Amino acid sequence: MSERTTRNNQFPVLTSSKSGLFLQSDYFNKQVASKDDTGYKIIKRGQFTYRAMSDTGEFFPNILDCVDIGIVSPAYPVFKISNGKKILPDYLKYFFKSNGFQRSISSFAQGSTRTSIKFNKLKTVEIEQLDIDQQKAICRTLQKVETIIHQKESELQKFDDLIKAQFVEMFGKENKTLLISDICDFCSRGRTPRYVPSSTLKVINQACIYWDGFKFENIKYNDESYSGDRILNENDILICSTGTGTLGRCNVFKRPDDNRYMADSHVTILRLNSKILPEVFKTWFERPKTQDLLYSNCVSGSTNQIELSKTKLKEMQIIVPPIQSQKQFTTFVSQVDKSKFVILCDIFSMRNLYIRLINDCITHSSINLRVP
C-alpha cells in the first residue's frame, strides 16, 4: 500500500514499537518527526505497519487501533489483511507477537549492526488457519490479560507522577544550576564490543534501558578481554543515544549480579560526582521540559537516525539542589519504589503469562499471510 500525504500536518504521526502503535506525541511527549511530513505513508484503523530496521534483530508489525487514521515514516511498510473471512485482524496482531513469528523471520534479516526485513519476505511467512470462532476465543482470552496489564500500568504511572510532583514541589522554585559537564564525567573510551554467544562480560544496549528499569533479557555478551571506561560502575547514568524509538530513555545502573557489565556505543554513560544524586538526575532528566530540550539539540547520524549530541548535552543546565534536600527526595523515592516494586512484579508476571498464552494458542504452520 502506498497512499501518502499531499500536504504537511495532514494526519497525526505514529510510532511503531515493540509495545504497539502509538501517537508519536503521546509516546515521546513531543513530535520528533520531520518538520515537513508531506509524503508520509497513510495508515488506517485495522491496517498494519512496522519499523523495517531493527537494532535487536526483532521486528514487531502492529495494528492501528488508537486512531482512525494516521501517518508513518515512508520507510515503514503499510499493509492490510486481504481476506477477513480467513484471518481476524486481532488474531494476526497476536501472531506477530509470538516466538513462532520471530523464528520465521530470523532467516530473512539483512545487515549486521542494524538488520532489516523487506515486506516481500515478511508476507511469505505462514500462519496456522484456525476457524473464525477459535480465533475469536483466543482473542477474548488475550484481551482479558491485556486489560489487567493496562490497569497495573496505570497504577504504576500514578506512582511515577507522584515522584515527579514531589520533585516540582521540592525543587520547582529557584535553585542553583550547573552545566551537566560540571556534575559528571562522560565515559566513552575503549573499543566497541566484540559480541560472543556467552560471557561473564555483559553488554547493556538500548533494548535493555527503560524508564521503569532494565530488561536484562535483552542483554548481549562481549569478549572478556575488553578494557576501557565503558565498564559500568554502580549508579552510572545510562542514556539511550540514538533512534526515534529509544533516544532519551535513561536509568540508573544497579548491578543485578556479580558479572561485569559494560555499555555499547549507542548508550551514553554519565558518571556523577558528589554534587548530585542519581535519583535526582534521573527525575530531572525525565521531565518533559528536559526531554524537549534534549531532542531540540539532537543531530542526524550516519544511518539517518537522530543522535544525542554529547557536546550539547554537556552544555545543558541542570537543577542542583542542596545535597540535604536531594537526600530527602531520594528517601521519598525509595519509599515509593517499594510500592512500585510490588506492581512491577505483578506486571512482569502478567506479561509472562500473556506471552505464554500467545505462544500456546498461536502456532506457525499452514497458510501464507498473502497480504497485498
For the chain, what are the domain ranges?
176-320
Annotate 272-285 with b (16+ C-beta within 10 A) or e (fewer): beeebbbbbbbbbb
Q: Is 321 left (phi over 0), alpha (psi -120 to 50) or beta?
A: beta
Chain centroid to CA 214: how far?
11
How far apart, in Å, are the Cα atoms of 118 and each of 26, 46, 114? 28, 21, 13
Q: How many residues belong to the chain?
A: 372
Q: What is the pLDDT along the chain (372 residues), one digit of tens a residue?
A: 678 999 888 888 888 887 788 887 666 555 454 568 888 999 999 999 998 887 667 788 999 998 999 999 898 999 998 887 889 999 999 999 998 888 888 877 666 556 788 888 888 888 887 889 999 999 999 999 999 999 999 999 999 999 999 999 999 876 789 999 999 999 876 566 778 888 899 999 988 998 888 988 889 998 888 777 789 999 999 999 887 667 889 999 999 998 999 999 889 999 999 999 999 999 999 988 898 888 888 876 555 567 888 888 999 999 999 999 999 999 999 999 999 999 999 998 999 999 999 998 876 433 344 433
Q: List, in order, residues 6 or more apart from 197 with CB less than 8 Å away.
A: 221
**What is the pLDDT, as a whole number, of residue 307?**
84
pLDDT at 242: 83
Q: For residue 364, what pLDDT is reported? A: 43
Query: How far, in whole angstroms, is CA 119 from its chain's centroid?
Result: 22
Indicate the angle between helix axes 323-361 and 278-286, nearest 10 degrees.
70
pLDDT the model gives residue 197: 87
Q: Which residues of 5-43 are buried (b: 16+ CB within 10 A; e: fewer)?
A: beeeeebbbbbbebebbbebeebbbeebbeeebeebbbb
d(CA 248, CA 242): 8
Amino acid present at 1? M
Predicted local distance difference test score (pLDDT) of residue 113? 59
**CA angle, corner 174, sides to 241 and 280, nearest 5?**
40
Query: Residue 236 CB: number of other CB atoms within 10 A?
Result: 25
CA distance 251 to 278: 9
What is the model's pLDDT at position 370? 42
Alpha-carbon distance 322 to 198, whole Å?
44
Set of cell numbers at residue 296 = 531540540
Dist. CA 34–CA 3, nearest whole Å: 18
Whether 5 and 71 have beta carbons less than 8 Å apart is answered as: yes
Residue 207 main-chain phi, psi, to 5 deg: -70, -10
DSSP letters for 120-186: HHHTT-EE----HHHHHHHHHHHHHHHHHHHHHHHHHHHHHHHHHHHHHHHHSS---EEEHHHHEEE
H/E element, 99: helix 99-105
Q: Tell me, what's the pLDDT at 221?
A: 92
What's the CA gap between 277 and 305, in Å, rounded? 31
Q: Is the pTM of this model over 0.85?
A: no
In this structure, are residues 353 and 162 in contact, taking their beta carbons and an 8 Å threshold? no
Task: Kindly state the cell numbers that stand for 188.
Answer: 566513552
> What is the phi/psi pair of residue 88, to 5°?
-75, 140
Q: Does domain 176-320 have CATH number 3.90.220.20?
A: yes
